[in-house]
């Protein structure tokens, strides 16, 4: 009996997924455990394995398509089964599910020209002036019968509506959205009785009254551009950041650290470790310092739990990792567990492994879960200072700028030194200002006396 591959639930919050890339094609033989597709979830792009031996009979969901969890996306024919027969049956039974009912429709985008033409037509109807009808000839296109009938009844030029159905087909929901947008624009551009309408092409549509023919008031502004659909990850980032900023009382505390001693130690260590292929980064030292400071200040390893504060037993540091555009861009947070119990060498290895995997295969849910504190470092890009948004359920995130050579005063003497500015964003429900100052003071001691990080 053929095996149906469905969109898997790869995270606890995942409701839909996008097939980023198929690694197989129809007719290919597959073994159990083989990675057949890359799936973009609400948090990352992850590999999807096949758990049976067989041949890919049919691919039901093309690359770039988003479908709900549980939707059939491919069918595997087992040994001895007729490939053509399995493919025909699967196409007949599954195409509608995968292409229509299973799809998570992206918001339909109606070109401004279409909305404007509908508004202008409305204005012409309401005025006494017999202006020439504004519109375009409907081109040959894929339109469902229901959508075509609705568009005709509503007076909408269906050729101006962007279809979100299979193969760009205009379907019912596309016409409904176009009608809603047209009605909204019509309401905001109603012309008083006796007024004359003037169309200004290229920039705006204006209305002038008979009493003051030279007085114009802008009704709408047409801006040219293009829409880029949000990936699952971008949607999740947007939702979580809004949730964080609107539900967590953020405040920030900033301090400067002298980096001369740490940079000298790092240079010495890297020279000695070069033969082993190990290269410590400034971020590795920061992770180690933050973890040790958290062990001394447990409220920085805590979460707000409604009527209590949960102080965690493990010190897990989340490290923000930027993804390349070919993987959708955005950020993921890789988690280094038990960071206070690991050496600089182990922390460096863990961080490098997480970053490489995030930018190639994608991190697993386990590798992105259970962070209790987050570090975001833009220093490598030359950014001197910034603030970061707390990653729930953390109570703090550290934003690290670049280590900059600048004039400084050391023991009353003006000289050149290297300093780095860091900013803590904090949840005031868990950590107050005095606690933040104490944590930064401890962190400053670890950074400026780096030998304490290796004993």
Flag the least confident range among 101-115, 186-200, 270-284: 101-115
428 assigned to active site: yes
Instruction: Kindly state whether residues 65 and 191 are assigned to the same domain.
Output: no
Domain that holds residue 36: 3-101
Q: pLDDT band for position 228 (50/70/90)?
A: confident
- pLDDT for 134 beyond 60: no
- pLDDT for 127 beyond 70: no
Q: What percent of the chain has pLDDT over 90?
A: 42
pLDDT digits 0-9 by tens, 37-60: 988 887 677 888 888 888 898 899
Instruction: Kindly state whether residues 70 and 151 are assigned to the same domain.
Output: no
Residue entry with tokens 């004039």: 407
Q: What percent of the chain has pLDDT over 70?
A: 78
For residue 200, the domain's CATH number is 4.10.320.10
For residue 298, the domain's CATH number is 3.30.559.10
The pLDDT of residue 33: 84
Average pLDDT for the chain: 80
Among candidates 109, 99, 403, 425, which has minimal Cα distance to 254? Answer: 425
pLDDT digits 0-9 by tens, 355-396: 999 888 888 888 988 999 999 999 989 999 999 999 999 999
Burial of residue 21 (number of CB atoms within 10 Å: 0-12, 13-18, 19+): exposed
Of the three residues 179, 202, 221, the one that is the final residue of a domain is 221
The pLDDT of residue 199: 37
The verdict on residue 107 lying in a domain is no
Q: Residue 50 corresponds to which tokens in the numbers above?
A: 């096949």
Instruction: Kindly state whether residues 427 and 293 are assigned to the same domain.
Output: yes
pLDDT digits 0-9 by tens, 305-354: 999 999 999 999 999 998 887 776 778 899 999 999 999 999 999 999 99
The verdict on residue 106 lying in a domain is no
Instruction: Kindly state whether residues 355 and 443 are assigned to the same domain.
Output: yes
Contact 177/108 with Cβ under 8 angstroms?
Answer: yes
The verdict on residue 64 lying in a domain is yes
- pLDDT for 276 beyond 60: yes
Which whole number is the average pLDDT over 53-76? 89
- Return d(Cα 351, Cα 319) in angstroms, integer: 8
To the nearest 10°, report the CA torsion of 22, 23, 28, 31.
-120
The verdict on residue 369 lying in a domain is yes
- How far CA 31 is from CA of 21, 35, 90, 400, in Å, comes to 18, 9, 20, 46
Which whole number is the average pLDDT over 4-28? 85
Instruction: Kindly state whether residues 354 and 304 are assigned to the same domain.
Output: yes
Instruction: Kindly state whether residues 47 and 166 are assigned to the same domain.
Output: no
- pLDDT for 299 beyond 90: yes
Contacts of 153 (CB under 8 A, 6+ apart): none
The pLDDT of residue 192: 46
Of the three residues 191, 221, 251, the one that is the final residue of a domain is 221
- Return d(Cα 304, Cα 302) in angstroms, integer: 7
Instruction: Kindly state whether residues 273 and 124 are assigned to the same domain.
Output: no
Active-site residue (options: 250, 312, 385, 428): 428
Query: Is the pTM here over 0.85, yes or no?
Result: no
- pLDDT for 213 beyond 60: no
CA atoms within 13 A on the CB side of 401: 19
Instruction: Kindly state whether residues 367 and 324 are assigned to the same domain.
Output: yes
Of the three residues 189, 221, 253, the one that is the final residue of a domain is 221
The verdict on residue 226 lying in a domain is no
- Domain count for the chain, please give it: 3
Instruction: Kindly state whether residues 206 and 278 are assigned to the same domain.
Output: no
């Amino acid at each position: 009996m053929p095996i149906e591959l469905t969109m898997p639930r790869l995270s606890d919050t995942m409701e839909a997924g996008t097939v980023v890339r198929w690694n197989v094609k129809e007719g290919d033989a597959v073994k159990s455990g083989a990675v057949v597709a890359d799936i973009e979830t609400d948090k990352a792009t992850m590999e999807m394995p096949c758990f049976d031996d067989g041949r890919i009979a049919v691919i039901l969901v093309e690359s770039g398509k988003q479908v709900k969890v549980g939707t059939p996306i491919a069918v595997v024919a087992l040994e001895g089964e007729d490939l053509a027969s399995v493919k025909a049956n699967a196409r007949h039974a599954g195409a509608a599910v995968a292409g229509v009912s299973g799809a998570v429709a992206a918001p339909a985008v109606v070109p401004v020209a279409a909305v404007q033409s509908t508004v202008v037509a409305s204005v012409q109807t309401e005025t006494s002036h017999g202006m020439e009808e504004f519109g375009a000839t409907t081109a040959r296109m894929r339109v469902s019968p229901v959508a075509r009938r609705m568009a005709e009844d509503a007076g909408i030029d269906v050729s101006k509506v962007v279809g979100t159905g299979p193969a760009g087909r205009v379907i019912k929901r596309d016409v409904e959205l176009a009608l809603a947008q047209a009605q909204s624009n019509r309401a905001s551009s109603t012309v008083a009785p006796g007024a004359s309408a003037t169309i200004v092409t290229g920039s705006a549509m204006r209305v002038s009254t008979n009493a003051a023919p030279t007085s114009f008031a802008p009704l709408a502004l047409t801006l040219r551009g293009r829409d880029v659909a949000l990936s699952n990850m971008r949607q999740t980032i947007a939702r979580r950041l809004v949730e964080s900023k609107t539900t967590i009382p953020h405040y920030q505390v900033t301090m400067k650290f002298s980096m001369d001693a740490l940079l000298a130690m790092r240079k010495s260590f890297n020279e000695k470790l070069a033969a082993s292929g190990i290269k410590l980064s400034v971020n590795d030292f920061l992770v180690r310092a933050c973890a040790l400071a958290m062990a001394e200040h447990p409220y920085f390893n805590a979460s707000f739990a409604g009527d209590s504060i949960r102080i965690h037993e493990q010190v897990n540091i989340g490290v923000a990792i930027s993804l390349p555009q070919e993987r959708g861009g955005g950020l993921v947070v890789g988690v280094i567990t038990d960071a206070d119990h690991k050496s600089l060498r182990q922390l460096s290895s863990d961080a490098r492994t997480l970053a490489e995997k995030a930018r190639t295969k994608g991190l697993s849910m386990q590798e992105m879960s259970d962070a209790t504190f987050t570090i975001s470092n833009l220093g490598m890009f030359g950014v001197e200072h910034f603030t970061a948004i707390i990653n729930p359920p953390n109570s703090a995130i550290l934003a690290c700028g670049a280590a900059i050579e600048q004039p400084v005063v050391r023991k009353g003497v003006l000289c050149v030194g290297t300093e780095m500015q860091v900013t803590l964003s904090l949840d005031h429900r868990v950590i107050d200002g005095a606690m933040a100052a104490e944590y930064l003071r401890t962190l400053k001691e670890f950074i400026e006396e780096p030998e304490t990080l290796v004993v």
